[in-house]
Structure 1
Amino acid sequence: MDGLLLDNHTRDPHAALAEEAALGALLRCWLREVAIPGGHVRAAGPHLTLRVAGTPVRVRVHGGIALRFDGPPEHLAEGRWRPLGLSPLVALVEQELDGGLDGGNEEFAAQVRAGREAVAAILAARARAVPPADPWLASEQALVAGHPFHPAPKARSGDDWPDYAPETHARFAPRLLGVRADLVAQEGDTAALDTFGNAPDGYVPLPAHPWQLGLLAAELRGPFADGRLVDLGPGPRAVVPTSSVRTVYDPGTGMCLKFSLDVRITNCVRKNAWYELRGAVELTRRLAPVFERLARRFPGTRWLPEPGYRSAALGTRLLEGLGVIVRTGPWAVCGPGTTPVLAGALAAGADGVPEAVLARRTADPVAWWGAYVERVAFPVLDAFFRHGVVLEAHVQNVLVGFDAAGWPVEAVFRDLEGTKLVTGRHDLTGVPGGVAAPLSYDAARGWNRVAYCLFVNHLAEVAATTAGTADGVLRALWAVARESLERYVADHAAGLDALAPLTRVLAGAPLPAKANLGVRWARAADRAAGYVPVPNPLRVDAEGERR
């Protein structure tokens, strides 16, 4: 049998879907980061043919820069196009990347396979589980395949993850710890944490993620033994994990808790660094007046403040590992009759998206999209150009509020870890240097992050799903997006300095796309990820045709 045929396990329906998702993610990464920039792609009718380690691979693609695939990938062998499986594709990718970097990456294949197996396990678990009745939480738990441009989007370490995964519709009670009062590290409003139970005299309650406690077991033995920490057992109520895995929603208070997890999810180990704990509170103070002004200019703009954190002052490892950031929940900020929906669910398809939204998007995609772009893009651009604030508006950091008829009427921005202040635009006097430096980006780096998250990660993915396989509709959506952005410049940005980056985008300059394959292959930190240029769907050629 040909070595590049599909893996045998794909006869199982869950495994087959997982294989398809993993193949698609790795091929999209290869196309975006290697084949297209290297000029190794040829269009032939409805197909693109690319080369991986000298082997021709053929795919059918729609969705513009979102690179959605129609049907399975094939490779050319003995003069015939044959189905291509994940393991052989990984081997080809490794063979070619090994030639470009010394030492290779012995973890890579295992991570890609682990991602595939995780998706299969998620699908099996979802078939048995009951989704949450809360429509917002249903959208948070809908991202089964994960990041479409990451080589191993669902790879997670350990065996316990299904018990805490949003995609499996998990719910769990946090473990309640008591921290000796003289060792409490906290800042801001942490009242939501006190509702998880009473601690003994001389102690302060600290909810903890059960998975994280297992990961920190060795480091916690001493503090438990000598009384610096006490284990008070399971908390009084269950919380619900959201799309980031480590951030949970507490129905009891309506707040969210962002735990640390010493687990690699996509490119990052998801712990709350000490400067991120303090930075969240600092940014909440500074951004409150910014979002007030954004909401006046663009009604429907919302955000989720992070007013406080709590941890234990037991050395950096445990300070970070036990740190919990309190975040406002979306139902507290959305207007009456408005339902928040995770943008990632809108990009992924229909799962977790309210019926009214699906019906409206299908019935009038162009008008729906026009309203969507204004709600999401205008405040992001204004935050950058007018206020010197970089909002990380990718599809997991934006909730879109819909009215009862399915129209987008609000945009809710969250997760201050990725929010940055443009250097030179803000006075950080008095903020400790170790906190201030990670809060800041220079203007060029900030714009790359804004442009990637907003245009490539967010709008391109939602547009591709809205258009489906209809290329004519996709072109119409991008025409509307361009008109909206031009209206933003005319109505809101006239007279603002430093608009040149947006002007270049409207002139058709390539957009920056994050190079997740490259950073994962190099085993580098996520902050080391570079960008590759991708075609700009807003571009109009000399004859007025959209590219």
Structure 2
Amino acid sequence: MTSLALDSPAAVAEEASLAALLRCCVREVAGPRGQVWHAEPYVLLRVADTLLRVRTHGGLALRFQGPPEWLERGSWQPLSADLLVRLVETELGGANEEFADQVSMSRGAMTALLAVRRDALPPADPWLASEQGLVFGHPFHPSPKARGGADWLRYAPEAHASFRLRLLGVRHDVLAEAGDTGPLDDLGTAPRGYSLLPAHPWQLDLLAAELAAPLADGRLIDLGHGSHAAVPTSSVRTVYEPRIDRCLKFSLDVRITNCVRKNSWYELAGAVELTRRLEPVFRELSADFPGTRWLPEPGYRSAGLGTRLLEGLGVIIRTSPWSVCRPGVTPLLSGALAVPGELPAEPLRWWRAYVERVALPVLDAYLTHGVVLEPHLQNVLIGVDAAGLPVEAVFRDMEGTKLVAGRHDLSGVPDRVAEALTYDPAGGWNRVLYCLMVNHLTEIAASLAGPGSTRELWAVVQEVLAGYADARGWPQPLSDLLAGAPLPAKANLSVRWARSADRFAEYVPVANPLAVLS
């Protein structure tokens, strides 16, 4: 381990990087090979014929207490992230020359973010402050803060960045849009014959070569910068624009964790189509589960200048959370709540309210309406009242929301758009279980329990879900879940090792925290 002070950015980043990679090893490398053992207070695992150990708590979330170690000639030594990378490479066959660089890049990004945050002021808006609090990223990802591009720090939400958008004019004969795009026109003034198109300044730099010709011949014009600073949210490419009280989801042709983040042409069309179809669904969900909210994506705008620029300049308009939460309710990113902090005064009451707000509409969306929400920690906002009690859950991001194939009439929808809008029933249920149970509730429960047991918290989950199952006649998927069937966990290390697209990520089975209660 480093000799730097324990609170130095480099040391903290090393600790976080090591912890994330070690969790992946337990879940995806040693676990499936039968090379993980529990010997309280340690978890032991073997990677590349090397025995490792670490003190744990938090159940399935695998929170670590104290430094991980490896056994060398009969003596336990501190484990480093670089050594663990070498062990993983040996265990998996050493066939990915990018892997070590990605882990190193992620650790370097954390170091830079921690250093900048020492002097940067967070937004005064509590929702935006929560969006910008995810310094360490996904706890089960080998390179959670890997980020391409040279200028990423200028636009990083974790660095408390804010910046003015660039404004383009799109000549009407090459304008591409659908749905309600009117709010974009309030960002500035476009000359006659043009429509206003906001653009992420980082993306414009990345597209400079492709933009040269349409800017030269007048199909596009550069209108300078917007008048207000936009604030990047947790996904990096989605920003909040205060002048129009909307979130704007841009393309960014850089890799962020697993994916190059862009709005594919079929996703632009799909966001508007899905918003139209989900409106009556969420109306029913809100009636059955008071406090259920969502953020529609009613329109997109771009320039019809070939697929590259159509996608690269495409912007999806998203409703802001402040406009859907009722007065007196403050939206907060669930991912920020998964970071250990102060416990609520009545943790079990808080937890029951949380589970009821988040879990029940997600399950009912699938079982009753054939809709797969993607309620991972970055896609859910929790609306808390003045006392901090969860009273609303806000679901967002149409890219991850899908329709269950065979339960919706998609005739008339272009084939590629329809394909991107659907999951088969089994795939949809796996996505729901992973996002809700493994990614979301497990992490919040671990933060709520601290170093203590999560058993009492999972007993509350069991009671809430059993009550819902009883009211719905105990459908088979819920019966299996409550009986303790293993849960699917997304294999982030495996997909990075294979250098596959994120959509091809597989799942590995993990223990269901409800099993010990059955």
Q: How high is the TM-score relative to the length of structure 2?
A: 0.98
Q: Which residue of 1 aligns with 2:463?
A: 483
The alpha carbon displacement at 1:211 in A equals 0.6
The alpha carbon displacement at 1:41 in A equals 1.3
The alpha carbon displacement at 1:12 in A equals 7.1
Amino acid at match of 2:201: P
- Whole-Å separation in 2 of the counterparts to 1:240 and 1:149: 27
Cα pair distance change 1:502/1:10, threshold 3 Å: farther
- 1:494 matched to 2:476? The reply is no
- Whole-Å separation in 2 of the counterparts to 1:301 and 1:295: 5
- 1:61 matched to 2:56? The reply is yes
Gaps of 5+ in 1: 1-5, 351-357, 541-545
Q: Which residue of 2 aligns with 1:338?
A: 329
Which residue among 320, 326, 329 is the counterpart of 2:311?
A: 320
The alpha carbon displacement at 1:98 in A equals 1.4
- Whole-Å separation in 1 of the counterparts to 2:259 and 2:142: 14
Is the Cα–Cα contact under 8 Å of residues 7 and 87 in structure 1 kept in the other structure?
A: no
Which residue among 464, 479, 483 is the counterpart of 1:503?
A: 479
Is the Cα–Cα contact under 8 Å of residues 6 and 12 in structure 2 kept in the other structure?
A: no
Q: Deviations over 1:27-75 (max 9, x none)?
A: 0011011212211012223111111111111111111110111011111
Is the Cα–Cα contact under 8 Å of residues 305 and 328 in structure 1 kept in the other structure?
A: yes
- 1:512 matched to 2:503? The reply is no
Q: Which residue of 2 aligns with 1:3?
A: none
Q: Deviations over 1:264-287 (max 9, x none)?
A: 111111100000000000011000
Amino acid at match of 2:308: R
Q: Which residue of 2 aligns with 1:539?
A: 515
- 1:82 matched to 2:96? The reply is no
Q: Which residue of 2 aligns with 1:215?
A: 206
- Whole-Å separation in 2 of the counterparts to 1:412 and 1:47: 37
Is the Cα–Cα contact under 8 Å of residues 166 and 240 in structure 1 kept in the other structure?
A: yes
Gaps of 5+ in 2: none
Structure 1 stretches of at least 4 aligned residues deviating more than 4 Å after TM superposition: 7-12
Is the Cα–Cα contact under 8 Å of residues 190 and 309 in structure 1 kept in the other structure?
A: yes
Amino acid at match of 1:507: A
For 2:147, what is the secondary structure of its paired residue?
coil
Amino acid at match of 2:88: V
Which residue among 218, 224, 234 is the counterpart of 1:227?
A: 218
- Whole-Å separation in 2 of the counterparts to 1:264 and 1:158: 8
- 1:245 matched to 2:236? The reply is yes
Q: Which residue of 1 aligns with 2:418?
A: 436
- 1:13 matched to 2:8? The reply is yes
Is the Cα–Cα contact under 8 Å of residues 2 and 11 in structure 2 kept in the other structure?
A: no
Amino acid at match of 2:511: P
RMSD, aligned CA: 1.3
Q: How high is the TM-score relative to the length of structure 1?
A: 0.93
Amino acid at match of 2:331: P
- Whole-Å separation in 2 of the counterparts to 1:45 and 1:538: 21
The alpha carbon displacement at 1:520 in A equals 0.4
Is the Cα–Cα contact under 8 Å of residues 72 and 83 in structure 1 kept in the other structure?
A: yes
Q: Which residue of 2 aligns with 1:368?
A: 350
For 2:426, what is the secondary structure of its paired residue?
helix
Q: Which residue of 2 aligns with 1:199?
A: 190
For 1:50, what is the secondary structure of its paired residue?
strand
- Whole-Å separation in 2 of the counterparts to 1:84 and 1:259: 40
The alpha carbon displacement at 1:510 in A equals 0.3
The alpha carbon displacement at 1:401 in A equals 0.5
Give the total of aligned pairs: 518
The alpha carbon displacement at 1:490 in A equals 1.6
Which residue among 82, 91, 97 is the counterpart of 2:92?
A: 97
Amino acid at match of 2:280: P
Is the Cα–Cα contact under 8 Å of residues 180 and 228 in structure 1 kept in the other structure?
A: yes
The alpha carbon displacement at 1:524 in A equals 0.2
Q: Deviations over 1:171-199 (max 9, x none)?
A: 00011111111000000111121122112
- Whole-Å separation in 2 of the counterparts to 1:377 and 1:347: 16
Structure 1 window deviating more from structure 2 (336-345 vs 216-225): it is 216-225
Structure 1 window deviating more from structure 2 (182-191 vs 226-235): it is 226-235
- 1:255 matched to 2:246? The reply is yes
The alpha carbon displacement at 1:406 in A equals 1.0
Q: Which residue of 2 aligns with 1:185?
A: 176
Is the Cα–Cα contact under 8 Å of residues 185 and 312 in structure 1 kept in the other structure?
A: yes
- Whole-Å separation in 2 of the counterparts to 1:90 and 1:8: 20
Q: Which residue of 2 aligns with 1:30?
A: 25
For 1:400, what is the secondary structure of its paired residue?
strand
Amino acid at match of 1:93: V
- Whole-Å separation in 2 of the counterparts to 1:405 and 1:173: 35
Is the Cα–Cα contact under 8 Å of residues 342 and 395 in structure 1 kept in the other structure?
A: yes
The alpha carbon displacement at 1:8 in A equals 5.5
For 2:38, what is the secondary structure of its paired residue?
strand
The alpha carbon displacement at 1:201 in A equals 2.0
